[in-house]
Structure 1
Amino acid sequence: AHTCGAKPLAERAHAELLATGARPRRLVLTGLDSLTPSERRVAAMAADGMTNREIAQALFVTPRTVEVHLSNAYRKLGISSRSQLPQTLTAPLVAGSQAEPAALATP
């Protein structure tokens, strides 16, 4: 259901299974859907051309925290460099992701 855009249905089914005492399998997300909100925010800022230091100052975190978020985002998105971020984040569907690119920049 997640891969075809029926996220509310999948969440309801998961809740119903839990209510019956069943232990449903954990969903493995891919592409943009696999990023945490912090990873999305940092990746979007990096894609806009901000340096790690600028991102850290804007988010009130350390540059090392920015590095960790970017490293995790690269791994999850299957990319190896910062220059690939803009294209990856604006692609309509990345590795089965249903996320909207406009949702990436929201704090």
Structure 2
Amino acid sequence: YARALVNDDEDAYREALSLLTPGNPVWAARAHLIYGEWLRRQGRRRDARTELRLAHEAFSSFGAEAFAGRAAAELRATGEQTRSRSTDTAETLTVQEIHIARLVADGATSKEVAAKLFLSPRTVDAHLRNIFRKLSINSRRQLRDLPAIR
């Protein structure tokens, strides 16, 4: 991967992809992205689209919106349109719900969250019901175990 970046060598990009794809999907997605960017700069738009699509889909599925956006911008530069496919919690929950979910995941009670956010405990409980429904969970313990909330 580093050799490809430093030497601007297509064979090194392909080798990086073959080594990273089975073991580390995040770094493989990064390799697809930089290879696609390199291909586009070389004027090989059709080849670049394949790599950039793979990167965009992978980053979107991981919820890595910044990298997904970068891949989408590169795809647009090749003449292709993209759409967001993220299932990130940030798209599902409101800002207030995310804030409440984080506080509850850290162990705060409804009364403590209500006092901190200047809400009533009933409002906090209503938000929690919405959070549980949107995330398809049914307990505070499950909320604590979600990595996207942390």
**C-alpha RMSD of the superposition:** 3.5
Structure of higher RCO (CA pairs closer than 8 Å, 6+ residues apart): 1
Q: Which runs of 5 or more residues in structure 2 are unaligned?
A: 1-58, 70-84
How much has 1:8 moved relative to structure 2?
Answer: 6.8
Q: Which residue number in structure 1 is paired with residue 118 of structure 2?
A: 60
Counterpart check, 1:50 vs 2:108? yes
Bigger radius of gyration among the two: 2
Say if 2:110 and 2:125, in contact at 8 Å, map to a contact too: yes
Say if 1:47 and 1:10 are closer, same or farther in 2 by CA, change over 3 A.
Answer: closer
Corresponding position: 1:41 with 2:103: no
Which consecutive segments of 4 or more residues in structure 1 shift more than 6 A?
A: 8-11
Fraction of identical pairs, as percent: 42
Q: Could you state the TM-score of these two structures normalised by the residue count of structure 1? A: 0.57
Normalising to structure 2: TM-score of the pair? Answer: 0.43
Q: What's the CA shift for 1:31?
A: 4.2
Deviation sequence 1:34-74 (CA, Å, 0-9, x none)? 01111111011111111100100000011111011111110
Tell me the matched-pair count. 90
| Alpha-carbon distance change, 58 to 4 in structure 1, aligned in 2, over 3 angstroms | closer
